[in-house]
Amino acid sequence: MLLHLSIRDFAIVDRLELEFRPGFTALTGETGAGKSILIDALSMTLGDRTGSEQVRSGAERADVTAEFAIDSLPGIGDWLHEHALEGDPNRLLLRRVVDANGRSRAFINGHAATINQMREAGDRLVDIHGQHAHQSLLRPEAQRMVLDAHAGLASLAQETGGAHREWQRLRRARLDHENNAAARDAEREQLSWQLEELSRLALAPGEWETIQSEHGRLAHAATLMEGVRDAIDALSESENAALGSLSGVLSRLRPLTEFDGLLRDTFAVLESGEAQLREAAYALRHYADRIELDPKRLHEVEQRLEAVHNAARKFRARPEALPEVLASLRVRLKDLEMTADLEALALQEQAARSRYGGLATRLSAERNKAATKLGREVNAAMKELAMSGGRFEVELRSLLPDGSVAGNEQVEFLVTTNPGTEPRPLAKVVSGGELSRISLAIQVITSRAAAVPTLIFDEVDAGIGGAVAEVVGKKLRTLGGERQVMCVTHLPQVAAQAREQWSVSKGTESGSARSRVAVLDPKSRIEEIARMLGGVAITATTRKHAAEMLGLR
């Protein structure tokens, strides 16, 4: 559910902070006041196209942030985790910034995101119906999901899709085996000797670094021994050794610290240095005792290095990566051996196809029943919405013999708004108002099963009035009992059915147009409904009529 919308310097809006509630909210106001601008701003956070023209004149950038509660949408939490876009528990923030030069940036829960990711998230959160592009019901896959969800077939459809994918995977494996048997046999033979060679080498993980270090030590043993001995002499064993000189300095300073305490800190530093020098001399003696000249071991290590280098060149890999190469060769050989039995593959493919066929047949039967029922219900709703000459159908177009991950048919919503004409795909309906009313009818009927929690209708009342407008309002109120619904409307019959009403107005400030939004209290609602009923001249009669309309809610 949409909780909060923050708008900065968008179109004629300079600054707005809007808090949203559940249920049905009506947005009303004079034409041109900016009602649709609010929807455009929200659409921007849902991944719609945008440009510099949406930045308020004189501003550096437009900045819009939408906050959603997602505790009832576990699927989107999984999606956020998958894309490393998590935020506060049960909350989702979508933010879009557009600079005056047209550059756009997107953020999800404060993380930089792509526009496609923003659209994916938005598709799960909001459907905007009307003269806007964010209309999921126009997409065939969304229509199929609406039908399946309404009929309780989502689980069966998912199982069917999985069965089809498994069948196609085994089919590809079988065809690949038939078409590439000779190449596969040659690859298996090559893999076998490669595995034998690398297995004989038996390079352990981390061994390359170890033998390099050992080779360096053995190859320079004489130099190391000489250098360490010189260091030991300089520290502790020569006539002018550092430790002896430092001990003499400490002996001379020790009694002086009794006369002046200022020397004690310096004395302590020198005393600590003496201890560290003794420790270093001890460590060097211990190291010197371990150094030995071992030509035989040096020869063995050099042979090992050469063998690893040769293998690395042959397999075109870094020496340290040879253990990984060995592991990948084993996996590939295992895969080839698993697909080597053509008869077994064919039997597996046949079983997978049979399983898919059974599931898809069940799904088709249930979809046929659900399509007839949904068509009947939507047609009844269309009559109530002044579209009595129209007809709605759910077409199930066969995809046999192979079907698809969606089953054995493609689902498409067809509609006609005029008697005597053949239904056409919903996406080709010309009138935005008609499309909105048809979408409204479908959404009301499928509201309990659909997943998107927030619906916005822009000008669903276009071309209607009177009793039909009241029907539209009641249907929106019904839908508001299940979902969060917002509607931009010019009709008092629709606005009067809302749980909450906002008034959008436009004024001038510092020579520039500014859009403002006010949440109306009961008294202000009467005035706004009266304005919508009576135009400029508001009389006592129109106020009384407005109060009666609101009292009927």
Instruction: Give tens-digit pLDDT for 25-81.
Output: 999 988 776 788 888 899 999 998 888 888 988 899 999 999 999 988 878 888 898
Q: Are residues 392 and 360 in the same domain?
A: yes
Pairing label, strands 104-108, 111-113? antiparallel
Q: Are residues 527 and 513 in the same domain?
A: no
Provide the domain limits for residue 24.
2-158+355-520
Tokens of 345: 């593959």
C-beta separation of 277 from 243 below 8 A:
yes
C-beta separation of 417 from 387 below 8 A:
yes
Q: Are residues 370 and 507 in the same domain?
A: yes
Q: Are residues 57 and 130 in the same domain?
A: yes
Compute the residue count for the chain.
Answer: 553
How many folded domains does the chain comprise?
A: 3
In the chain, the percentage of residues whose pLDDT exceeds 70 is: 91
Q: Does any domain span residue 34?
A: yes
C-beta separation of 472 from 10 below 8 A:
no
Q: In a 3-state reduction of DSSP, which class is residue 77?
A: helix
What per-residue confidence (pLDDT) applies to 207? 82
Tokens of 496: 């009067």
Among 440, 391, 384, smallest CA distance to 414 is for: 391
Q: Are residues 403 and 320 in the same domain?
A: no
H-helix or E-strand containing 7? strand 2-10
C-beta separation of 156 from 359 below 8 A:
yes
H-helix or E-strand containing 372? helix 342-384
Q: Are residues 217 and 147 in the same domain?
A: no
Q: Does any domain span residue 184?
A: no
Rounded to whole angstroms, the Cα distance separating 196 from 141 reads 51
pLDDT by residue for the chain (553 residues), tens only, comes to: 999 999 999 988 888 899 999 999 999 988 776 788 888 899 999 998 888 888 988 899 999 999 999 988 878 888 898 899 999 989 999 999 999 998 999 999 999 999 999 999 998 899 887 654 346 677 888 889 889 988 989 899 999 999 999 999 999 988 887 777 677 777 778 888 888 888 888 888 888 888 888 777 777 766 777 787 778 878 887 778 888 888 888 888 888 888 888 888 888 888 888 888 888 888 888 877 776 666 777 778 788 888 888 888 888 888 888 888 888 888 888 777 765 577 788 899 999 999 999 999 999 999 999 999 999 998 988 888 777 788 899 999 999 898 999 999 999 999 988 888 888 888 776 566 677 677 777 877 776 556 688 988 877 666 667 777 888 888 889 888 888 999 988 899 999 999 999 998 887 776 666 778 889 999 999 999 999 887 667 888 888 999 998 885 4
Among 264, 35, 59, smallest CA distance to 130 is for: 35
Rounded to whole angstroms, the Cα distance separating 2 from 43 reads 12
Q: Are residues 360 and 504 in the same domain?
A: yes
Query: Which residues, 6 or more positions from 86, have their beta carbon under 8 angstroms from its beta carbon?
Result: 77, 80, 109
Tokens of 99: 């600079």
State phi, psi for 17 to the nearest 5 degrees.
-125, 115
Would you say the pTM of this structure is higher than 0.85? no
Q: Are residues 541 and 516 in the same domain?
A: no
Pairing label, strands 409-416, 424-425? antiparallel
C-beta separation of 345 from 335 below 8 A:
no
Q: Does any domain span residue 145?
A: yes
End-to-end Cα, the chain, rounded Å: 23
Is the backbone peptide bond immediately before 140 cis, with ω within 30 degrees of 0?
Answer: no
CATH, residue 46 = 3.40.50.300
C-beta separation of 485 from 495 below 8 A:
no
Q: In a 3-state reduction of DSSP, which class is residue 111?
A: strand
Q: Does any domain span residue 247?
A: yes
Q: Does any domain span residue 504?
A: yes
Rounded to whole angstroms, the Cα distance separating 34 from 12 reads 8
State phi, psi for 154 to the nearest 5 degrees.
-60, -45
Q: Does any domain span residue 373?
A: yes
Alpha carbons within 13 A on the beta-carbon side of 26: 28
What per-residue confidence (pLDDT) applies to 338? 63
What per-residue confidence (pLDDT) applies to 510? 67
C-beta separation of 46 from 515 below 8 A:
no
Q: Does any domain span residue 16?
A: yes
Rounded to whole angstroms, the Cα distance separating 23 from 486 reads 8
Q: Are residues 113 and 247 in the same domain?
A: no
Q: Does any domain span residue 309?
A: yes
Burial of 349 (0-12, 13-18, 19+ CB in 10 A): buried
Sequence-distant contacts of 217-224: CB under 8 A, at least 24 apart: 218/294, 218/297, 218/298, 218/301, 219/298, 221/291, 221/292, 221/293, 221/294, 222/293, 224/291
Helix-helix angle 342-384:154-179, to 10 degrees: 150
Q: Are residues 153 and 60 in the same domain?
A: yes
Residue with tokens 């080498």: 201
C-beta separation of 134 from 43 below 8 A:
yes
Q: How many CB atoms lie within 10 A of CB 210?
A: 11
Q: Are residues 454 and 536 in the same domain?
A: no
Q: Are residues 449 and 384 in the same domain?
A: yes
